[in-house]
Structure 1
Amino acid sequence: MTRPVESPRLSVLIGRYQGVSIDVLVVCSAGRCRSPIAAALLGVHAETAAAKLQAHSGALVGAHGAMPPVGVTLMNELGIDLSGHRSLPVTPESMRAADLIFGMDREHVRELISRSPDARPKTFTLTEFVHRAEQAAPRGRHQRLTDWLDQVGDGRGDDGADLVGVADDIVDPYAQRPEVWRAVIAQLDDLTQRAVAVLGTRRSLAR
């Protein structure tokens, strides 16, 4: 049985940190492929980790677009129903409200930071965040998320996207073969599971 996912906003419990929910905005170009898949997978892994996190997706261009049928079919195979997803545009309000923002590639991060320079400390590519957070010291029991993100992002370039090599970006599967979609979903599944681990399970004893 597939699990319908509330779209475009997904609210799930995933990790105990003083009862405070972390709001995560996941962004890609049109908000139809990568970002809703990543937001849904964050929710699934978060639910398993029993912590509090809200994940939702946003589009840099366009709005109200549905996920292509191939994506819906492949996510159904994982028990996740995204047939009702419709993209919504990223807004200054959604960026301001988010505690953490993930772009799917470096151009997304650059565009987001150009729109809202104040969001730079909390805006990363998903790949960069996972790699940096896994190497950083775990967030302290009573440490504010903003302070920990400053540690995670220490030494980044001015544009906030200092990774090297196109392999650091998540490939856009739009109009690609099903094999490409499967590879992207597998990559996002791995990265979101690791993101939940550093956001949740390291601090799961905090009440």
Structure 2
Amino acid sequence: MLLTGAIRARYHRLAMAASMGERLSPEATRVLVVCTANQSRSPMAEVLMRRRHEAVGAAASVASAGSRRGGEPPSSGSVRAMARRGLDLSGHRSRELTANDLAGADLVLCMARRHCREVVVLHPPAWPRTFTLRELVRRGEAAGQRQPGQTLDEWLGVLGVGRVRAALLAEDDDDDVADPIGGPDSAYEATAVLLERLVDRVVELTFPQSPSTEPGSNG
């Protein structure tokens, strides 16, 4: 049976959720966070973003993966950094990024430009919805928050104006979140503080509040 693009995308999203043991409605936004080993930055961002989604009532699900082989526990520094925030990362096991993961994601958030490069090589159609965390915040703040009634794809299209794939080959790290792996707890704490700020801003920009959840609402 031949599948249309929309049906195929929905199938991949549900298949990805099933592989993670999640129940995901077809309408929910699927966010995938990517780093190198999926042991420090991306799992921290995953749990921080999941908590933020829950806090604002966003219809979204978040997962993480890395470009290396999976099955490894998280770094101890990241576990401690999240524990200080009331989040338990101890049960996390790293996952290797697959093309199916990318086909099923509505938004791919990378820790560094090199990860965006790897994503686009693995699954070229993911390019319009793949950004580093810093880049999405920078472009989102310049373009303005996603508006009620505006689809995520429409908003990402606005953010993508002027983007070229060749920029992925650049070597600057202005849009990167540095890897704390192997560093002291202070390095993990600094990364966690940065990720908290970026994640909060991403959620604020990407998921506009409904009237019933806006500050000061009596609903």
Task: Sort the TM-score into its range (normalised by shorter chain).
Answer: 0.7 to 0.9
Secondary structure of 2:60 counterpart: strand
- Residue 204 (structure 1) aligns with: 210
- How far did 1:113 drift? 0.7
Per-residue displacement from partner, 1:9-64 (whole Å, max 9, x unpaired)? 59799xxxxx9311000000011110000011111111111111111000111101
- How far did 1:133 drift? 1.1
Task: Quickly say closer, same or farther: Cα 1:92–1:72, change in 2 above 3 A.
Answer: same
- How far did 1:68 drift? 1.5
Structure 1: which 5+ runs fail to align? Answer: 1-7, 14-18
Higher strand share: 1
Task: Quickly say closer, same or farther: Cα 1:169–1:107, change in 2 above 3 A.
Answer: same
Q: Higher relative CO (CA 8 A, sep ≥ 6), structure 1 or 2?
A: 1
Larger Rg: 2
Per-residue displacement from partner, 1:145-188 (whole Å, max 9, x unpaired)? 11211111111122464888424211111111111111000000
The answer to whether the aligner puts 1:61 opposite 2:68 as a matched pair is yes
For residues 51 and 23 of structure 2, what CA distance do their matches in structure 1 show? 8
RMSD, matched Cα: 2.5
Q: What TM-score does the superposition give when structure 2 sets the normalisation length?
A: 0.81
- Residue 132 (structure 1) aligns with: 139
Structure 1 runs of 4+ with >2 Å offset: 8-13, 137-144, 159-168, 202-206
The answer to whether the aligner puts 1:177 opposite 2:210 as a matched pair is no
The answer to whether the aligner puts 1:25 opposite 2:38 as a matched pair is no
Alignment partner for residue 89 of structure 2, among 72, 82, 85?
Answer: 82
Equivalent pairs: percent with the same residue?
33
Alignment partner for residue 110 of structure 2, among 90, 103, 112?
Answer: 103
Secondary structure of 1:166 counterpart: coil
For residues 47 and 136 of structure 1, what CA distance do their matches in structure 2 show? 25
- Residue 175 (structure 2) aligns with: 168
For residues 129 and 205 of structure 1, what CA distance do their matches in structure 2 show? 25
For residues 27 and 10 of structure 1, what CA distance do their matches in structure 2 show? 19
- In the alignment of these two chains, the number of paired residues is 193
